[in-house]
Amino acid sequence: MDGLVAFSPVLIILLALLFTRSSVGLAGLFGLSAAFFLSVFYFQTSIEILLRSLIAGFLASLPVSMIVVASLLQLTIMETGGAMNTVILFSKGLCEKDKMLQTLILVVGFGTILSSIGAVPVTVITPVLVAMGYSSIKSISLAALGYDSLCTYTILGVPLVVFSDMIGIDLISAAKYFLPFVSVVSFSISLAVLYMAGGMNFLKRGFWLSILIGIIAFLGSEFSIILRVPVITGLIVGVLVVIAIMSLYKPRNGENAFRVDRKINVIKAISPWLILIGFILFVNLCTPVRFAFYEFLSMPIDLLRGKPVYLRVFWQAYTWIFVSSLISIFIYKLNKQQLKTVFHKTKTRVVKPFWSATIFFLIAYIMLHSGYQKTYSGFELLNFQNNMIHAMAASSAKLFKDLYPLFTPFLGVLGGFVTGTQTSATAMFANYTMETSRLLNFSPIFMTAAVAFGSGLASAISPSKLQNAAASIDKIGEERKVLPKTFYVVLLMALLTALVSYFLRYHTL
C-alpha cells in the first residue's frame, strides 16, 4: 500500500497527460502538489525539509532549465538573422540523390550533433524533412526519433552530469556504465529510422550501415572516456557518423553540394554552434581550466546538510550557449528592431519549457527527502518506511523480483513520456532504481543506466517534443497522429535495451 501511495504523484501526472488536455507543466504541478501533500500528511515529513528540498531541487534543475532558455535564445537569434533558412537549404542538398543516406545524415548524424551542442533537433530537422518530401507526420516522427541513440549525451552531457550527481559517482565512471547500452540502442534507432523513412526497402539497404553506426557510437563513446571528456561524446559520435555516411555517397557528374559560396554562407549561419564547440572543447580539454571550473569553482550550496547541490556556473553548457549566442548578434549584425523581436519571441517561448524542465526536479527532491525530520545532529530519516523512494523500492522488489532488470528500461520510457526529458526522468527515478536494485542484489548503477537509456527512447513519444516538432512546420495537432506510429517502435527498442539490462544485472565494473 505504501508503495502505491508513494507512486501516486507519477500516476497522477500520467493520467493528466493521457486523459486531459493538461500541458506537461500543469500535469507536473498536479504531481508536485500530490507529492507535497503526501509527504506531510502520510509520510510525516518536516515542512522545513520540504521547503529546503524545493529550493535544492530548483538549483539542481538549472543545468536543464537554463539550457532551455539559452538554446531557445540561440535558436531565435539564428531565425531572426536568417541563419536557419541557410542551414535548412544546405542540409537539404546533402546526398540529395540518395534519400536513404540523406535521411540518416540529417536524422541520426546531424540530430546527434545538434542535440549535443544544445540546439533543438526537432525544430531544425522537421522542416528539412518536409522540404525533402516527407509527410508532416513522418517528418515529426523521424525528427523526434533520430537523435535518441545518444540522448544520454545531449546538451553537452547534461543527462550524464545529472546521472552522476544523483547516484554519487564521477563522470568518467558514469560514462563507463552507459557504454554497454550505446551500440545496441544506436543500432536499433538507426533501424527504426530506416524503416519509418522507407519501409523494408530502406531497412534492407541500410542494415549493415546501422551496424556500422552502432560500432561508431561505441568507439566514439570509448574514445571520449579515454580523453576524459564524456560530455562531448554526442559531438564526437555525430561527426563520425556524418563522415562515415558521406564517404558512402557517390555524387553524380556535375553534382557539387560544397561550392565555395555555399560554404561561406553556411559557416556564417552556424557560427554560434562553431563558437560554442570551440568554448566547450577549451573548457573540457584544457585540464587546468576544467579543474578550475568543475572542481575549484563548483559552488556547492548545502541546503540539506551533507547533500550539496553543485552549481558549476562557469562549466555548465548553458553559460557558453549564452556567450556564443551574444557573440552571434554581432556576426549577424542584428539591428535594434531585430533585437527587440528576439527578446519578445524568446520571452514568449521559454516560460512553459522552463517550468516543465524544473517541476520534475522539485518532485524528485521532495520524494527523495520525504520522511526526514530535523534533529539535533541535522536532518535524519528516522523511519525508512516514511520515505517515498524506499516505499516504492520495497514494493517493486516484491512485485518484480528477478524480472526487475527487464522492467527498468520501460520505467525509463514511462519517465521520459511523463517528464518530456531524459534528464528529468533520471532525476525522478535514479534513487528509486538504486534502492530497488540493492534490495534485489542487482547492479544498482547498471540498472539505473538502463532507466536512463529507456527515458531517452521516450523522446519519440514525448508530447512536448512532438509538439515542438509540429510547431516548427505550423502543424500543431499533427503530433497526436504521430504517437500511435512511434509507440510500438519505442516499446520494441525498450525491449532490446531490457535484454542488455538483464544480461548486466549482476555485472560490476
Q: Which domain holds residue 65?
A: 2-349+356-503
In a domain, 297, yes or no: yes
Helices (H), 42-135: 47-80, 83-93, 99-104, 111-116, 121-131
* Tens-place pLDDT, residues 330-381: 998 889 898 998 888 888 877 877 887 788 888 888 887 888 777 776 677 6
Set of cell numbers at residue 334? 542584428
Q: Count CB neighbours of 201 within 10 A.
A: 12
Domains identified in the chain, total number: 1
Cα separation, 388 vs 37, whole angstroms: 12
Question: Cell match 506531510: residue?
Answer: 40
Residue 509 lies in a domain: no
Q: Specify if 508 maps to a domain.
A: no
Q: What is the pLDDT of residues 439-453, one digit of tens each?
A: 889 999 999 888 888
- Tally Cβ neighbours within 10 Å of residue 477: 8
Residue 37 has pLDDT above 50, yes or no: yes
Residue 407 lies in a domain: yes
Q: What is the pTM assigned to this prediction?
A: 0.79
CB 368 within 8 A of CB 431: yes
Residue 413 is given by DSSP the state H
Question: Per-residue pLDDT tens for 258-272?
Answer: 454 455 577 888 888
Evaluate if residue 29 carries a pLDDT over 80.
yes
Flag whether 471 is in a domain.
Answer: yes
Q: What is the pLDDT of residue 260?
A: 43
Question: What's the half-sphere exposure (Cβ side, CA atoms, 13 Å) at 368?
Answer: 24
